[in-house]
Amino acid sequence: METFKDMTKPLTERRMAFLQDVVATYNSANRSLVFSTCEEVHCLYSHSTNNIGCAIGKHLYENLCLELDKKYMNSVTQPKIFKRLPEWMLSLHPAFLGRCQTLHDVDLMWDEKGLSERGEERVA
């Protein structure tokens, strides 16, 4: 079991493990971003053959990810969405998950190898 899912571990340890998972997983080429019709960038929660899903979505059931993709782009912290997350994720707190989602979504935080210099400063 990943440390961030282990509810017996201290909250700070679980949060650090979740953040480390985000940092170890993504780079500028694999962040599940798409452009909406209004040319805004949004994250895709869902996963497929070519898409591992966003920092939050990669840990959710596919049917919930698809619903979030259609109705609630970038809104994991909204109460009606947050309450549907797995218990271990709920325990991390919406503000923390929102910051992880923002880290994932912002282009300047990433380069081809992973976190950019700016991303590293943000995480530190």
Per-residue pLDDT reduced to its tens digit, 81-92:
888 899 999 999
Average pLDDT over all residues of the chain: 85
Residue 107 pLDDT grade (very low, low, confident, very high; cuts 50, 70, 90): confident
| Residue 50 belongs to a domain | yes
The answer, yes or no, to whether residue 97 has pLDDT greater than 80, is: yes
Instruction: Please compute Rg for the chain using Cα positions.
Output: 14
Range of the domain at 32: 8-116
Task: Give the pairing type, strands 110-111 and 114-115.
Answer: antiparallel
More confident: 70 or 97: 97
| Residue 17 belongs to a domain | yes
| Residue 72 belongs to a domain | yes
**Residues 41 and 105: beta-carbon distance below 8 Å:** yes
What is the rounded distance in angstroms from the CA atom of residue 47 to the CA atom of residue 54? 8
Neighbours of 32 (CB within 10 A): 23
Residue 118 pLDDT grade (very low, low, confident, very high; cuts 50, 70, 90): very high
Q: What are phi and psi of 115, to 5 degrees?
A: -65, 135
Measured CA to CA in angstroms, residue 47 lies from 18, 44, 53, 66 at distances of 18, 8, 4, 9
- The count of domains in the chain is 1
**Residues 109 and 26: beta-carbon distance below 8 Å:** no
State the pLDDT at residue 15: 97
| Residue 57 belongs to a domain | yes
- Residues 34-60, mean pLDDT to the nearest whole number: 73
Give the predicted TM-score (pTM) of the model: 0.86
How many Å from the N-terminal Cα to the C-terminal Cα in the chain? 26
| Residue 38 belongs to a domain | yes
